[in-house]
């Protein structure tokens, strides 16, 4: 029936993908998706909804992992060691920055929401690193498969160097430890 469905490693990853993808008909993003587990050559999950802007039916089907990864306590996890098949490294880096901005500088009394935003920023930057092959020192150009991600890579290729990414990761991780 279907060939090579993209893998959604966690529900968090599937939900983020759905939030970032616009409606093909009108470009709007607002859509409430309902999920159901279906059988499609193995376990899969189907997310369907109606675009809140133009009413178009939207539907995505993802393959589910053999083993469901529970999120670690107080942290956010989008997947295991394997790189994402849904969002490319540029999209992950962009999302990571949005979350870090939402978390704020960390001087004031911290809300749970701000801490969660920082934990999400950390998890998202870790996703970027997963695209770097063991022997490489940066995310290879071929890893970018989304227009939005490719645009970020073209604008600032140096942001995808392993050293730079590790520095960002360490920064978020230290900030998180203080909260």
Binding site for Zn ion (CB under 5 A): 23, 25-26, 28, 51, 53-54, 56
CA 122 to each of CA 34, 36, 100, 119, 168: distance values in angstroms, whole numbers, following the listed order:
27, 29, 8, 5, 8
Q: How far is 85 from 4, CA to CA, in rounded Å?
A: 11
DSSP-derived letter for residue 78 is -
Nearest to 59 by CA among 95, 25, 9, 94: 25
Q: Which whole-number Å values give the CA distances from 101 to 49, 96, 104, 128, 177, in the listed order?
A: 29, 9, 5, 18, 17
Q: Which is nearer to Zn ion, 53 or 173 (CB)?
A: 53
Tokens standing for residue 98: 């949005």
Q: Closest approach of Cβ 133 to Zn ion, in Å?
A: 38
Which 3 state secondary structure label does DSSP give 22? Answer: coil
| CB of 49 vs Zn ion, minimal distance in Å | 10
Considering beta carbons, is residue 49 or 79 the nearer one to Zn ion? 49
Q: Are 102 and 114 in contact (CB under 8 A)?
A: yes
Task: Write down the least CB distance from residue 58 to Zn ion, Å.
Answer: 8
Residue 173, Cα to own-chain centre: how many angstroms? 18
**Shortest reach from residue 109's CB to Zn ion, in Å:** 40
Complex with Zn ion: residue 32 or 41, whichever CB lies closer? 32
Min CB(56)–Zn ion separation in Å = 4
């Amino acid at each position: 029936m279907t060939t090579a469905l993209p893998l959604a490693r966690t529900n968090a990853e599937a939900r983020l993908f759905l939030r970032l993808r616009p409606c093909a008909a009108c470009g709007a993003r607002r859509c409430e998706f309902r999920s159901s587990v279906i059988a499609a050559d193995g376990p899969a999950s189907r997310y369907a909804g109606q675009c809140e802007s133009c009413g178009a039916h939207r539907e995505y089907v993802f393959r589910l992992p053999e083993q469901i990864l529970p999120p670690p306590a107080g942290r956010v996890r989008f997947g295991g060691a394997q790189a994402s098949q849904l969002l490319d490294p540029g999209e992950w880096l962009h999302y990571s920055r949005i979350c870090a901005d939402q978390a704020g500088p960390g001087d004031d009394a911290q809300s749970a929401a701000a801490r969660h935003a920082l934990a999400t920023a950390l998890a998202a930057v870790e996703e970027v690193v997963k695209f770097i092959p063991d022997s490489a020192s940066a995310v290879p150009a071929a890893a970018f498969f989304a227009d939005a991600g490719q645009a970020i890579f073209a604008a600032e290729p140096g942001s995808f160097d392993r050293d730079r990414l590790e520095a960002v990761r360490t920064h978020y991780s230290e900030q998180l430890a203080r909260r």
